Chain A
């Protein structure tokens, strides 16, 4: 791993840490407590950026999948894989932070309204994506079929969202969320989005480095076993 890459990653990591500390300060101390929902509303400043990042992750999976099938360069497969892994973590966090927020505010952990249901289906599609990689018999095949699912999964997301949206408006939701952020709120949200996006970039970078190293190790093992055998 060359020095420039190490330096770049360390800088990104430092920056991400600083931004996250700033975001935490703003979320917990700077922004005023919301009138209606009280302290628990602060989860919003985590929940929204995490949801945005999860969506970004799957968009990257989509683009990387297309690039892999086009160029057949394994690096695109590693990008897709690393991005999907981080994306699934962030999607799980969306569901969990949403539930934590919902319990005190709505009184229930879960409801089958449009956004939650669509998020759950998105989570399932990408869990299937990660499972698929494990079940492939060899690496190139795994990369290829994962890329196919990465493309279909992403194209399906808008259809899923549309269908679920129409489904849930037929049965009106029991609870309605009223928004309204002031300037401090908006500023905090933007800082939080920046912090989580940078965190995502750092995590995916480390994921890609790990996969590059795994690739190199297995290559070295193959070479070594040829010589030894």
Chain B
């Protein structure tokens, strides 16, 4: 067991070090996420009433589209210089590769989201200090990370690559997006955990199911 965690961590650490050196994924995803927020503010009349209503939706659209961009890179970087073959040659089970990559996806997406959320709250004139949002965002990002990493691996081997990932990913994670938006809206209104519970339950249930199924089928996705 201890060996397994270490192996997962090694793969995660490889991605993290590469990212810390190039800062390739996080900077572009961050800028894109901010741009999405800004473009959406042009889509709606910036009256106080509208912003409060559309705010949660806009935030999650930003996370989702920026997340897709990041997920493309998760396995996109492995396609150059036969890195994926190198990864497959490692003496580890395929699940370990998946969990390591999923940890990387989760961490990069969460890092972007933690930076974006305060920017969003300021731009949309919403209550600034919102620690409850952190839990909602973490839970939903876990769901994105599991299915997203699987589909990233799946689409990188095909001809369409980047285009295919959002087409596959977005319909599948609809429950997480819906529940994320609703929970965020309730959190911003100051409602209790009890009110949000049904949405949190949906996110957690989706996370568990996605994680289990993705772990089971990942083997088939990257085999030769």
Contacts and interface: CB of A to CB of B under 8 A. Distances in A.
Determine chain B's interface SS by DSSP, over half rule.
helix
B217 A128 contact: no
B175 A155 contact: no
Interface of B: 147, 150, 154-155, 157-160, 164, 167-168, 170-172, 174-175, 178-179, 182, 198-199, 202, 205-206, 209, 213-214, 217, 220-221, 223
A5 interface: no
A132 B164 contact: yes
Contacts of A153: 172
Given A135-B159, A163-B179, A149 B168 contact: yes
A156 to B, nearest CB: 5
Contact of A125 (B172, B178, B220): B172
Given A128-B171, A135-B158, A164-B174, A148 B164 contact: no
Determine chain A's interface SS by DSSP, over half rule.
helix
Nearest to B168: A128
Interface residues of A, number: 30
A144 interface: yes
B158 A159 contact: no
Given A128-B168, A135-B160, A167-B182, A148 B217 contact: yes
Interface string A146-161: 0111011101100110
A-B residue pairs, 6 tightest by C-beta: A163-B175, A135-B160, A124-B171, A135-B158, A125-B171, A159-B175
A164 B150 CA distance: 24
B112 to A, nearest CB: 24
B205 A159 contact: yes
Contact of B221 (A125, A137, A148): A148
Contacts of B213: 151-152, 155
Contacts of A145: 154, 157-158, 220-221
A151 B147 CA distance: 13
B220 A137 contact: no
Interface string A163-175: 1101100100000
A22 interface: no
Given A148-B220, A151-B213, A159-B205, A131 B175 contact: no
Given A127-B167, A135-B160, A137-B158, 13 more contacts: A125-B171, A132-B168, A141-B158, A145-B220, A152-B150, A152-B214, A162-B175, A163-B174, A163-B175, A163-B206, A164-B175, A166-B198, A166-B202
